[in-house]
Amino acid sequence: MPDTDLHALLASLRVWAPDATDLRPFDPATAPATPVPLFTDWFADAVAAGQPEPHTMTLATADAAGHPDARIVMLHGADADGWSFASHATSRKGRQLDAHPHAALVFYWPVLGRQVRLRGTVVQAPSDQSQADLHARSTGALAAALTGSQSEPLASLGELERRSREAWTRARANPATPSPTWTLYRLQPLEVEFFQGDPDRRHVRLRYVEEDGGWRRELLWP
């Protein structure tokens, strides 16, 4: 049996162990004027360093009453139009974004001791772009989208298996099958923060703040 004493387990763990983490120097004076190029470089660094699933991120939303929610989703792209992810518009996150179209994203790449945090407004891409995004992905992604009913109560795993098998059959037979509720979302950031961990806890935090159509950069205390 594994040790189930939570406090003992927590005490045994270490953050950024030298044999597992490469804490690199980060000079914010060399950072580009806009956040996307720096994000692209850091993302490429995470991939090259062997970070598992570096394209996964935490998406935080709030419902109409302001109650927060969070989950892990996959990054579909980042450019001047924003950071992209996708889901069904009828899902819980889709309904929350419809009621309150603002969100936050967090990337964490522990192999480099880095985080990237974003806050901003979320907009929906046009339907044709949403469907193109879906059909550019794997057959399994299409089958999952066609299974539908995301976030709704499920009566049994047997029902899920039946619906999933039907969806896989449709996806394999016609890879262009549309999923009308599948939606590509773009978070257009008002803030983007880059966090580089430091072994002496002098962590470097650089924040980009959207201002009059441009970006202002500032350092933050760790």
pLDDT digits (tens, 9 = 90+) for 108-146: 999 999 999 999 999 999 999 999 999 998 999 999 999
pLDDT digits (tens, 9 = 90+) for 4-49: 899 999 999 999 999 999 999 999 999 999 999 999 999 999 999 9
**150: which residues sit within 8 A by CB, 6+ positions away?**
87, 88, 90, 91, 92
Burial of 173 (0-12, 13-18, 19+ CB in 10 A): exposed
What is the pLDDT at residue 1? 58
Q: How far apart are CA 99 and CA 94, in angstroms?
A: 9
Burial of 139 (0-12, 13-18, 19+ CB in 10 A): exposed
pTM (2 d.p.): 0.92
Pick the range with the lowest mean pLDDT from 73-82, 149-158, 180-189: 149-158
Q: How far apart are CA 147 and CA 157, in angstroms?
A: 13
Q: How far apart are CA 81 and CA 89, in angstroms?
A: 20
pLDDT at 150 over 90: no
- H/E segment holding residue 134: helix 127-135
β-pairing, 82-88 vs 102-109, is unpaired
